[in-house]
Homo-oligomer: A and B are copies of this chain.
Amino acid sequence: MMTGMESLNVELGERGYPIHIGPGMLGEPERLRPALHGRRVAVVTNTTVGPLYGDALRRNLAACDISSDPLWIELPDGEQHKTLATVETILSRLLEARLDRGSRIVALGGGVVGDIAGFAAAIYQRGIDFVQVPTTLLAQVDSSVGGKTGVNHPLGKNMIGAFHQPRAVVIDTDTLKTLPQRELQAGLAEVIKYGLIRDAEFFAWLEEHIEALRALEPEPLAYAIRRSCACKAEIVAADEREGGIRALLNLGHTFGHAIEAGMGYGAWLHGEAVGTGMAMAARMSERMGWLDTAGRERAEALIQRAGLALEPPGAVTPDRFRELMAIDKKVASGRLRLVLLRGIGEAVLTDAFEQDALDDTLHEHARVA
Give chain A's interface residues, CB within 8 Å of chain B. Answer: 38-40, 67, 84, 88, 91-92, 95-96, 98, 100-102, 119, 122-127, 148, 150, 153, 155-156, 158-163, 241, 326-327, 329, 331-334
Contact = CB atoms under 8 A, between A and B. Distances in A.
Nearest to A163: B126
A127 B163 contact: yes
B329 A100 contact: yes
Contacts of A160: 91, 123-125
B332 A156 contact: no
B153 A332 contact: no
Contacts of A100: 329, 331-334
B334 A67 contact: yes
A150 B327 CA distance: 25
Copies of the chain in the assembly:
2
Given A84-B88, A95-B156, A326-B98, A38 B333 contact: yes
Contacts of A162: 122-123, 126-127, 162
B326 A123 contact: no
Given A126-B162, A162-B127, A332 B101 contact: yes
Nearest to A100: B331
A327 B98 contact: yes
